[in-house]
Amino acid sequence: MNDMAPINPNSKNPYLKGLYAPVMEEVSADKLEIIGEIPRELHGGYFRNGPNPSSSPKGMHHWFDGDGMLHGVWFENGSARYKNRFVQTHDLKTGGADAMPGIFERSADRDGRTVHYRDTANTDVVYHNGNLLALWYISGQPVAVDAHTLETIRIENFNGKLPRNISAHSKVDATTGELVFFDYALYEPKMWTGTVSATGALTHFQEIELPGPRLPHDMGMTENYTILHDLPVIFSESAIRNRLWQIHVADQPTRFGVLPRKGGAPKWFEFPTCYIYHVINAWEEETPNGTEVVMAACKMVPNGFSPDPQYGAYSAMADVLALRAQPFIWRMNMATGEGREEQLDDAVSEFPVVDSLKTGRKTKHSYHVVFDDCIEQRFSGLVKYNLETGASERHYFPKGVFGSEPVFVAREGGDDGFLITFTTDLAGQSEVHILDTEDMSAAPVARVKLPQRVPLGFHGTWAPGV
Ligand SMILES: [Fe+2]
């Protein structure tokens, strides 16, 4: 098996080596070896997206620049199968690494497209209208992927009706089957949001004016509202002028814009300055003073590391990628306009997930990754939070084994269920671990051996019944 990408071994870029090194082969494997027992009630697919350069980068390479690759494991009747496939984006099919610049470079313009960097669809994956959609963090073309084969179906434009792009972390409301999406532009003081029906019809699209260009990473969705982020980490004026990816923290509040999912003017709520990569979940609560829109998210805190000279020109990248965040809850009263921020815990965690079938509805628990104590982004365990009390329980992987963003699959009729994650060890062996969330500290109920290494990556989803 060819596991080696043609990567310069002398590169100081830690995100091209070892646990992060790309895999070149597209593998399909049935009847995987199982240690333990896969719960019979698990029927569906666990999918995870991530950056996987399809050829050797010629210049400076940012971890975020790699071509999108999906890894999937399907469970049915106690057995498991695996596939991995590149996401066949427009830029991969028309030149891969050479098609467009990466974010260490000056951005480019291209006729008819509003993206300025290589659009890799490498960040996130959601399950909508029977297909997977691979999504990109700078907001790009969504790519529809077959949830049974991982073969790319098409660049998704919803019958030609999608006006622009869709960002990673757009949300699917499993109750209605709708996709609630957001889109942003690097150099324009605008954001966009919209809705696609369960059958793929664009049913709403709206432009939102902003005080300046913004770099949101996520959004919130409740049963009736969309929550957009206006965060103070922005491009400097010279970066915009010179089309460079240089960001700074502006002296301005964090704002959340809450607007009806069906359309309407946002009501803006101001909070103390912070950056947020990932929303845990959002929901609505009725109070004596009116409806509160509640958003739980991981609020960034300093990582406590110093830029490490061993990474050379990549030390700043490594420092930014050493994510550290704490769980917070923001309450926004739609009647009074008042906002309240509460800290759930002071422990560090990130990559939060909830039961994806309940995104936008109140959930009792969330599940986050916890970090190895090092500057590289390595997930050494998982933590389960009670979102009402802040109580938590942890699961650590064996020493030298690192996880991915998991998915949570609920047991029918219960608050608990199963956490599923890819793991990879320092020797290059990957597995899927299935935990029973009733006892987070227990050993996995099943470990599934995988036929190749799954590089550490970004976000995942669960597709029931596929
Ligand atoms: Fe993300």
* pLDDT tens column, 28-63: 999 999 999 999 999 999 999 999 999 888 888 999
Count CB atoms within 10 A of the CB of residue 364: 14
CA of 36 to the centre of ligand 1 (A): 32
Per-residue pLDDT tens over the stretch 326-364: 999 999 999 999 999 999 999 999 999 999 999 999 999
- Residue 302 in this model has a pLDDT that exceeds 90: no
303: confidence class by pLDDT, cuts 50, 70, 90 = confident
- pLDDT of residue 4 exceeding 50: no
237 Cα: distance to centroid of ligand 1 (angstroms): 25
Residue in the structure block whose two tokens are 């917070």? 328
Provide the pLDDT for residue 2.
38
Computed on alpha carbons and rounded to an integer, the radius of gyration of the chain in Å comes to 21
What is the reported pLDDT for 166? 98
What is the per-residue pLDDT for 99? 73
Cα→Cα distances 239→160, 191, 301, Å: 33, 19, 24
Q: How far apart are CA 228 and CA 354, in angstroms?
A: 19
pLDDT at 240 over 90: no
Cα–Cα distance, 73 to 33 (Å, whole number): 13
The alpha carbon of 296 is separated from its chain's Cα centroid by a whole number of angstroms, namely: 15
- What's the pLDDT at 112? 66
Ligand 1: distance of its center to the CA of 390 in Å?
Answer: 23
Flag whether pLDDT at 241 surpasses 90.
no
12: closest CA among 316, 306, 427, 455? 316
Q: Which pLDDT belongs to residue 10?
A: 65
- Distance, CA 279 to ligand 1 centroid (Å)? 9
Mean pLDDT over 86-94 rounds to 93
Segment 267-275 mean pLDDT: 96
State in Å: Cα 351 to ligand 1 middle.
7
Residue 277 Cα to ligand 1 midpoint, Å, equals: 6
Band (1; pLDDT cuts 50, 70, 90): very low
Q: Which amino acid is at 350?
A: E
CA 168 – ligand 1 centroid, Å = 7
DSSP category for residue 212:
S
CA distance 145 to 44: 15
What single DSSP character describes residue 441?
A: T
**pLDDT over 60 at 96, yes or no:** no
Partners of 206 in beta bridges: 193
**Cα-to-centroid distance, 167 and ligand 1 (Å):** 10
Between 113 and 76, name the one with better pLDDT.
Answer: 76
- pLDDT, greater one: 13 or 123: 123
Distance CA 239, CA 54 (A): 28
pLDDT of amino acid 9: 60
pLDDT at 316: 85
CA nearest to 376, candidates 9, 21, 2: 21
Between the CA of 4 and the centroid of ligand 1 the distance, in Å, is 26
What span, in angstroms and rounded, lies between the C-alpha atoms of 322 and 373?
A: 10
Q: 350 CA to middle of ligand 1, Å?
A: 10
CATH of domain 24-464: 2.130.10
- pLDDT computed for residue 231 by the predictor: 96
**What is the share, in percent, of the chain residues with pLDDT greater than 90?**
79
In the prediction, which pLDDT does 320 show? 84
CB-based contact 40:33 (threshold 8 Å): no
pLDDT of residue 297: 98
Calculate mean pLDDT across residues 289-310.
91
Q: Cα(367) to centroid of ligand 1, in Å?
A: 15
Task: State mean pLDDT over 141-146.
Answer: 98
Domain boundaries, the chain: 24-464
What pLDDT does residue 111 have?
Answer: 64
Instruction: Classify residue 272 by burial, with Cβ atoms within 10 Å: 0-12, 13-18, 19+.
Output: exposed
Gap between the Cα atoms of 23 and 51, Å rounded: 10
Distance 216 CA to ligand 1 centre (A): 10
pLDDT band at 84 (very low <50, low <70, confident <90, very high): very high
**Residue 387: pLDDT over 80:** yes
Structure tokens at 453: 């290494």
Give residue 155 CA to ligand 1 midpoint distance, Å: 21
Residue 413 confidence (pLDDT): 84
For the question of whether the overall pTM of this predicted structure is more than 0.75, the answer is: yes
CB neighbour class for 140 (10 Å; exposed up to 12, middle 13-18, buried from 19): buried
State pLDDT tens for residues 242-264: 888 888 889 999 999 999 999 99
Give 43 Cα–ligand 1 centroid separation in angstroms: 26
* Whether the Cβ atoms of residue 207 and residue 257 lie closer than 8 Å to each other: no
